[in-house]
Structure 1
Amino acid sequence: MLDQPVRITAEAHYQIQNTLNHQKIPAEYGLRVGVRGGGCGASWLLGFDTPGPTDEVYNVEGVRVIIDRKHLLYVLGAQIGFEAGEEGRGFTVEKA
C-alpha cells in the first residue's frame, strides 16, 4: 500500500483543514482526489466525500485523502496546492 500517493502544499493543507472545521464536515469525510473524463479532456476531481467500496483511504500529512482504485494511476504523484490571485482563489493540482 502506498504511503502518500499525492502531496499537499502547506497552504492547501491549511485551506482543507479550515474548510473542514468551518463547514463542520463530519470526521468520516475526506478529500476525494480523482479524474473526470478521459484522454486529453480529463479534468481533476476534488471534493469532500465519504469512502466507498472501491476507494483507498490515505493519511497525507494529517488529511484524510480518498482515491478510487481505478483513479490511482492517474493521480499518483500529483501535488494539491492552493492559489489566491486577481482571478480568484482555489485549489490547484499539478502532476509531475
Structure 2
Amino acid sequence: MLFVGDSAKERIKEIEQKDQLTKDHFVRVSVTSGGCSGLSYQMDFDNQPRPDDQVFEDNGVKIVTDLKSFLYLCNTTLEFSGGLEGKGFYFNNPNASRTCGCGESFSV
C-alpha cells in the first residue's frame, strides 16, 4: 500500500484545481536509478494507465506506481512540507536504509 499524508493531500488538491486537472488524472510515483544514494524518487500527474500499474487510493487521492517501483515504495507515505524551509513533496519511506541530505534519493 502507498499512503498520502494530509499535507500532501491538500497540496495535490490545490494543484489539481489550479491546473484544471480532470478526474482522469492521478499521482504517479516511481523510483529510478540515480542520485547521491543510488535511487531517486519521481512524482508527476498522469492520466495514462500502464499495464503493470499498481493502483492505490488513500486519503481521497489516487496514487499509481509501476510494479518494480512498488517493491521500493511499499508502505511509503507521500508528504508535503511548505513554508520558508519546506522541502515540497517528500517520501517517508520505511524501506530506505539511507537517504541523502536533500531527501530526493535513497538506498535500501
Amino acid at match of 1:8: V
- Determine the C-alpha separation between the residues in 2 that align with 1:55 and 1:70: 10
Question: What is the Cα deviation at residue 9 of structure 1?
Answer: 1.3
Question: What is the Cα deviation at residue 38 of structure 1?
Answer: 5.9
Q: Runs of 4 or more off by more than 6 Å in structure 1? A: none
What number of residue pairs does the alignment pair up? Answer: 92
Structure 1, unpaired ranges of 5+:
none
Q: Which has the higher strand share?
A: 1
Structure 2, unpaired ranges of 5+:
95-108
- Identical counterparts, % of pairs: 29
- Determine the C-alpha separation between the residues in 2 that align with 1:92 and 1:70: 19
Aligned residues: CA RMSD: 1.8
CA shift digits 1:36-77 (9 cap, x unpaired)? 116941111111112212212221121111111121111101
1:25 is aligned, of 21, 25, 48, to 21
Q: Which has the higher helix share?
A: 1
